[in-house]
């Protein structure tokens, strides 16, 4: 199969897969004892895993790129061969490639394919470019560690990431985005803005919020609570541990045990909760429910804990302890489509509020599931109907639903065009059956209720990480932990500044002062680095006139403003949740 243009994901995948082989050939030329792992094309490029000291490759990335260019200039034909499994195993044993031999041992087919380019041979299904000379525009981007086959406990390999495109412009545009993404990395900004930290002393995958980060999170959570209450949700709370028997009934112990923290106390087994749904179910079951009571919407900012491999942890984006804006809706079947539609509207409102794009996916029944196929069909159809009634475009993801029900996944799109996991909506006929959840119908008959699981931002920590990167740490005024910093020119203005600061605090404006005996330019630069939306500069003239000079984060100045007018401007902008200041 040829790949001769930049149109189509398949052609780009072939280009990048071939690039990974050329990179592996270059590494083997430079470091013959390096052992080959695997090297696929991925969404934005390619990688290859090697059994070699990571420091060696990190220090020699430029040499690998240079060697790749030599291989490209040689224009080596990339040739496919079909070998018996036995023959291929012999080839890779002779070449001392244990990871390839292990892969072959797991293949059930009698024959396999290998690809050759010059002296380099790799086990691969293909397809590839016709020759190494077809690759022109590429860049190696980073080096990282990765467990063999992604499993902790396996040997740690060294992974080189790279990317390639058909045109130089496409490559340069992408590399520009990579550099911008590095500048916006939430882990870097989290340190610089003093928002949060993750300490090995506390444990991997657990976050500590510093004062400004805790305040930012509190602002978002309070906003969420207000919006939920407006939409008829009721706030609930549940404990962090519960008896394991509860999770046996729910099915989690059978389908989700590897991700759960369990411990024994006395003669009983206990679970540190990975989800909030069983507790909400128990609230529903606490008394008899009538059809007149439905729908019931329970909302909890519930902190949960899940066992995650250390290799997948990534700042706020993947943790072991995190909080979900979790809600469960209990309704009768005839209310289901309307309730899902309302959740879709709510989720879109949240995306719009934070200036994020979104993409919808409907995920269907997986290979392992609970409940009857009929329930799954009814639940899937309800989700489809709600999406269509809301006029929303969506894609299908066959077999990617949760074990207890199909779901709508809403991916959030940030300013760099990256997609992130966000809101989800799941329809569940199965847990109501397992827990025998019923309501009294108009005729007095006790009928089964339907359950909707949903989050409208998702994991609070992940959302904060996405938001930090989306805005580059420059939070909109209504979200900024510090909205105004007062800067004095000399100590003579301190009294006026302190009085102004107190006025703003009394009006709910998040203000702080910089009264240090430093040059004004130094103070301004520090406020810019801290990404403060407004700086109020107080000099002798302002103190005498009782006015302020307001400097916006973007460099614009508003001179000779009365303090009360400035406070009104800020409070109105916060109330309207304007994206720009």
70 Ramachandran zone, left/alpha/beta (phi>0; psi -120 to 50):
alpha
Task: Assess whether 460 and 337 both reside in one domain.
Answer: yes
The residue annotated as part of the active site, out of 49, 122, 326, 414, is 326
- The pLDDT value recorded for residue 580 is 63
The tally of domains found in the chain comes to: 3
User: Active site includes 544?
Assistant: no
**φ, ψ (nearest 5 deg) of residue 166:** -85, -20
pLDDT, tens only, 6-35: 344 568 999 999 999 999 999 999 999 999
Query: DSSP per residue over 470-528, as a string?
Result: HHTT---TTT-S--EEEEESSGGGHHHHHHHHHHHHHTT--EEEE--SS-HHHHHHHHH
Task: Assess whether 283 and 374 both reside in one domain.
Answer: yes
Please give the Cα distance from 444 to 94 (Å, whole number).
77
The residue annotated as part of the active site, out of 297, 342, 407, 501, is 407
Q: What is the DSSP letter of 157?
A: E
> 47: which residues sit within 8 A by CB, 6+ positions away?
20, 39, 40, 159, 160, 161, 162
Q: Is 478 part of any domain? A: no
Question: Last residue of some domain: 176, 203, 238?
Answer: 176
The residue annotated as part of the active site, out of 16, 35, 134, 324, is 324
Task: Assess whether 287 and 387 both reside in one domain.
Answer: yes
Task: Return the SS3 of 467.
Answer: helix
Task: Assess whether 458 and 488 both reside in one domain.
Answer: no
Reported confidence tier of residue 399, pLDDT bands at 50, 70, 90: confident
Please give the Cα distance from 416 to 310 (Å, whole number).
27
Task: Assess whether 373 and 319 both reside in one domain.
Answer: yes
pLDDT, tens only, 495-510: 999 999 999 999 999 9
Q: ∠ at Cα 60 (54, 64), nearest 5°?
A: 110
Q: Is 2 part of any domain? A: no
Please give the Cα distance from 81 to 93 (Å, whole number).
17
Q: Is 59 part of any domain? A: yes
- Best CA proximity match to 275, nearest among 258, 298, 308, 252: 252
Q: Is 187 part of any domain? A: no
Please give the Cα distance from 538 to 571 (Å, whole number).
21
- Best CA proximity match to 263, nearest among 247, 289, 284, 244: 244
User: Active site includes 277?
Assistant: yes
Question: Last residue of some domain: 144, 176, 208?
Answer: 176
The residue annotated as part of the active site, out of 277, 320, 426, 551, is 277
CATH of the domain at 153: 3.30.980.10
Task: Assess whether 467 and 489 both reside in one domain.
Answer: no
Q: Are 485 and 511 in contact (CB under 8 A)?
A: yes
- The pLDDT value recorded for residue 342 is 98
- The pLDDT value recorded for residue 7 is 42
User: Active site includes 324?
Assistant: yes
CATH of the domain at 505: 3.40.50.800
Question: Last residue of some domain: 176, 203, 219?
Answer: 176
- Best CA proximity match to 324, nearest among 454, 465, 148: 454
The residue annotated as part of the active site, out of 16, 28, 184, 453, is 453
Please give the Cα distance from 270 to 494 (Å, whole number).
58
Q: What is the DSSP letter of 133?
A: G
User: Active site includes 28?
Assistant: no
User: Active site includes 328?
Assistant: yes
- The pLDDT value recorded for residue 5 is 40
Task: Assess whether 150 and 80 both reside in one domain.
Answer: yes
Task: Assess whether 201 and 282 both reside in one domain.
Answer: yes
User: Active site includes 470?
Assistant: no
* Whether this model's pTM surpasses 0.75: yes
Please give the Cα distance from 135 to 20 (Å, whole number).
11
Q: Is 182 part of any domain? A: no
Count Cβ atoms within 10 A of the Cβ of residue 485 and give its class: 0-12 exposed, 13-18 middle, 19 or more buried.
Answer: buried
Residue 468, number of CB atoms within 10 A of its CB: 26
Q: Average pLDDT of 76-88?
A: 96
Q: Average pLDDT of 375-402?
A: 91
Bridge-based pairing state of the strands 395-397 and 357-363:
parallel
User: Active site includes 117?
Assistant: no
CATH of the domain at 366: 3.30.930.10
Query: DSSP per residue over 378-405, as a string?
Result: HHHHHHHHHHHHTT---EEETT-SBTTB
Of 86-90, 140-144, 309-313, 425-429, least confident by mean pLDDT is 309-313
Task: Assess whether 359 and 291 both reside in one domain.
Answer: yes
Task: Assess whether 107 and 220 both reside in one domain.
Answer: no
Reported confidence tier of residue 405, pLDDT bands at 50, 70, 90: confident
> 480: which residues sit within 8 A by CB, 6+ positions away?
510, 531, 532, 533
Q: Is 185 part of any domain? A: no
Q: Are 329 and 454 in contact (CB under 8 A)?
A: yes
Q: Residue 529's domain spans which residues? A: 484-576
Task: Return the SS3 of 103.
Answer: helix
Q: Is 126 part of any domain? A: yes
- Best CA proximity match to 487, nearest among 434, 458, 530, 433: 530
CA atoms within 13 A on the CB side of 277: 25
Q: What is the DSSP letter of 569?
A: H
Task: Assess whether 404 and 499 both reside in one domain.
Answer: no
Q: Is 38 part of any domain? A: yes
Task: Assess whether 444 and 489 both reside in one domain.
Answer: no
3-state helix, strand, coil in the chain (%, to 5): 40, 30, 30
Percent of the chain clearing pLDDT 90 (strictly above)? 82
Q: Which helix (H) or strand (E) holds 17?
A: helix 9-30
């Amino acid at each position: 199969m040829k790949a001769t243009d930049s149109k189509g994901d398949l052609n780009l995948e072939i280009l990048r897969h071939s690039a990974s082989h050329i990179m592996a050939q270059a590494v083997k030329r430079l470091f013959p004892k390096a052992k080959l792992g695997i090297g696929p094309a991925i969404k934005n490029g390619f990688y290859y895993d090697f059994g070699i000291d990571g420091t060696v490759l990190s220090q020699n990335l430029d040499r690998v790129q240079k060697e790749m260019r030599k291989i490209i200039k040689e224009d080596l034909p990339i040739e496919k061969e079909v070998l018996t499994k036995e023959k291929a195993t012999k080839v890779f044993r002779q070449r001392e490639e244990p990871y390839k031999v292990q892969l072959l041992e797991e293949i059930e087919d009698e024959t396999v394919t290998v690809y050759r380019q010059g002296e380099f041979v790799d086990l691969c299904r293909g397809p590839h470019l016709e020759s190494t000379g077809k690759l022109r525009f590429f860049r190696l981007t980073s080096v990282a560690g990765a467990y063999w086959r992604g499993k902790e406990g396996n040997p740690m390999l060294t992974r080189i990431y790279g990317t390639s495109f058909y045109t130089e412009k496409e490559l340069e545009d992408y590399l520009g985005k990579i550099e911008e993404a590095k500048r916006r990395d939430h882990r870097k900004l989290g340190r610089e803005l003093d928002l949060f930290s993750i300490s090995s002393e506390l444990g991997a995958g657990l976050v500590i919020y510093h004062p400004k980060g805790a305040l930012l999170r509190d602002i978002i959570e309070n906003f969420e609570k207000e919006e939920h209450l407006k939409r008829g949700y009721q706030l609930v709370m549940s404990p962090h541990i519960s008896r394991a028997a509860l999770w046996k009934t729910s099915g989690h112990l059978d389908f989700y045990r590897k991700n759960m923290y369990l411990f024994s106390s006395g003669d009983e087994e206990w679970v540190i909760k990975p989800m909030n749904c069983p507790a909400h179910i128990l609230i529903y079951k606490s008394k008899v429910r009538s059809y007149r009571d439905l729908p019931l919407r329970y909302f909890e900012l519930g902190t949960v804990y899940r066992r995650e491999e250390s290799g997948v942890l990534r700042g706020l984006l993947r943790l072991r302890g995190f909080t979900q804006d979790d809600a469960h809706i209990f309704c009768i079947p005839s209310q289901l489509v309307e309730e899902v539609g309302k959740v879709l509207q709510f989720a879109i409102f949240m995306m719009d509020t934070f200036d994020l794009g979104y993409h919808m996916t409907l995920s269907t029944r997986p290979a392992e599931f609970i409940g009857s196929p009929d329930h799954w069909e009814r639940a899937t159809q309800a989700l489809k109907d709600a999406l269509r009634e809301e006029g929303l475009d969506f894609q299908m993801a066959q077999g990617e639903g949760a074990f207890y029900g199909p779901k709508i996944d809403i991916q959030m799109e940030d300013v760099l065009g990256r997609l992130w996991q966000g809101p989800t909506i799941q329809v569940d006929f199965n847990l109501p059956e397992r827990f025998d959840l019923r309501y009294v119908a108009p005729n007095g008959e006790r009928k089964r209720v339907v359950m909707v699981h949903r989050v409208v931002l998702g994991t609070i920590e992940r959302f904060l990480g996405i938001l930090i990167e989306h805005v580059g740490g420059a939070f909109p005024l209504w979200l900024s932990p510090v909205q105004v910093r007062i800067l004095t020119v000399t100590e003579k203005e301190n009294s006026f500044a302190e009085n102004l600061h107190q006025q703003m605090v009394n009006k709910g404006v998040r203000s702080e002062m910089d009264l240090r005996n430093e040059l004004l330019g130094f103070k301004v630069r520090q406020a810019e680095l801290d990404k403060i939306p407004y700086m109020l500069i107080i000099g002798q003239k302002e103190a005498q006139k009782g006015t302020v000079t307001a400097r916006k984060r973007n460099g614009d100045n508003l001179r000779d403003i009365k303090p009360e007018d400035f406070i009104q401007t800020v409070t109105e902008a916060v109330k309207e949740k304007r994206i720009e200041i």
